[in-house]
Amino acid sequence: MNEERSTYRSGRIRGRLAGVFCLMLAAVLLPVLAFAAPRTNSDVKATYLNNAVITLSATGANATYCQLDNGAVVATTTCVTGVYGPHVLKFWSTDATGAVETAVNGPFFVDEDVAPTLECNAVASYVATASITITATDNFHGSGVDFVCYRVDGGAYQTAVSPASVAATKLLVARMAKVQVGLVDLMAPVDPTLPPPHEDRGACASCHDIIVPTPEPTSTPEPVVTMSPSVTITGTGTHTLEYWAQDLARNATAHVTKTFVITPQVVPVVPVATSLTINVSPTALKLGRSAHLFGVIAPNMADRTPIRLMVRKAGQTKWTNLAPYVRSFGGYHWSFYYHPNTRGTYYFKVQYSATATYLGSTSRTVTVVWK
């Protein structure tokens, strides 16, 4: 009987000790579990098209925060952006005790597939010179215009590149140079007898640059929404202008061709003023003798343009032409001999009719008396 009691007593003691150990273990573990930081997961992807929607889910948290591209910190479980280019979403959570989760960086890229729109102010015809402007506008709010290409009459393409594209190229070249410098420090070849990872290589960062996605919202320069290069074309005849554009996301427009005509410029001719002089010798003479009429037309007319000598005969009131024309000689002198059939006073003057080159003019009137 005493042996059975001893056996039961020892069993009860072991059970009590086990219960004490459980309570002690619970007392130790509960504070650890109570103060464990929350954990946040995301469905972030490497790339998005036109619009990125990222959802966060947290375990053991009472608040979740995120920060896009070093912007404002927002308490939310959803992040949305449609801005073209590289982005980094930083997110973390906190719990009721104040424990803060170590922030996680989620890099991603927003791409777009909307081509720019094109406008051209070309008209059907020009005089002497055609000045044409091609306007490319990126109708998506992200990437911006990269370049505008054009060519005249099927010749070589000319490219107008946006400042954003130039800046992006410079940035890319600078990064390539930086990586190449890092690659100069080479290590010994990998020992093929050792299984990977090759721990004999030491720290990986000592042999080459490790490219880690980090927040770089400025890597994509500010987009150029509109570009308007101008094209100047000369030469009479029919011409063609072919043009197209592309945005930074490499969305290209269709090629467009405009046809137009350039006509020569007609320069208006301003007629030159002229003047005529008339002289006579003698001014009084007997009937049967000739009076010498002469003078000068200015400026000197190398084409020996004819002038009209006009007379108002004695006893008449109307002027009549003497001979069809009086031709000049030496380019600007003119001369004519006249003798009437009747006595009296005669009046003379010379006229030059206007042409496309010269204005018309009339001389003074001279008098000759035949007795």
Per residue in 137-180, pLDDT tens? Answer: 987 666 889 899 999 999 999 999 887 665 555 444 444 333 33
Note whether residue 65 is domain-resident: yes
* Co-location of 244 and 344 in the same domain: no
Q: Are 65 and 123 in a shared domain?
A: no
SS3 assignment, position 243: strand
Residue where one domain finishes, among candidates 84, 111, 138: 111
Closest by CA position to 126, among listed 236, 48, 38, 226: 236
Can you say how many angstroms the Cα of residue 357 is from the centroid of all Cα atoms in its chain?
A: 47
Is 78 among the domain residues?
yes
Do 219 and 301 reside in the same domain of the chain? Answer: no
Question: What amino acid is encoded at 122 in this protein?
Answer: A
Residue in the block written with tokens 């008339």 = 278
Max CA distance (Å), the chain? 196
Query: Both 59 and 87 in a single domain?
Result: yes
Q: What is the pLDDT of residue 225?
A: 81
The reply to whether 313 and 294 lie within a common domain is yes
Residue 193 located in a structural domain: no
CA distance 40 to 101: 8
Q: How far apart are CA 277 and CA 187, in angstroms?
A: 105
Last residue of a domain, one of 111, 128, 162: 111
Structure-token match 């140079």, residue found? 177
What is the domain extent for residue 338?
275-370
What pLDDT, in 10s, does the model give residues 175-201?
433 333 333 334 445 455 555 544 444
Q: Same structural domain for residues 169 and 288? A: no
Do 364 and 285 belong to one domain?
yes
The larger pLDDT score, comparing residue 366 to residue 224, is at 366
Indicate the number of domains in the chain.
Answer: 3
Confidence class of residue 95 from pLDDT cuts 50, 70 and 90? very high
Query: pLDDT digits over 238-269, tens only?
Result: 999 999 999 988 899 999 999 999 999 988 88
So what's the pLDDT on residue 131? 95
Same domain? For 137 and 177 the reply is yes
Q: Is residue 351 part of a domain?
A: yes
Pair 106, 153 in one domain: no
pLDDT of residue 7 exceeding 80: no
Tell me: do 336 and 304 sit in the same domain: yes
Same domain, 132 and 255: yes
The neighbouring-strand residues paired with 272 are 358
| 197, part of any domain | no
Write down how long the chain is: 371
Whichever domain contains 228, its CATH number is 2.60.40.10
- Cα distance between residue 297 and residue 307, in whole Å: 9
Give per-residue pLDDT as tens, 282-306: 999 999 999 999 999 888 766 556 7
Q: How many CB atoms lie within 10 A of CB 89?
A: 21
Those residues with Cβ within 8 angstroms of residue 52's Cβ, 6 or more apart along the chain or in another chain:
79, 80, 81, 82, 87, 108, 110
- Rounded CA-CA distance 314/343 in Å is 8
pLDDT of residue 152: 95
Domain shared by 284 and 251, yes or no: no
pLDDT number for residue 346:
95
* Residue 349 and residue 367 in contact, taking contact as beta carbons nearer than 8 Å: no
* Cis before 299 (ω within 30): yes
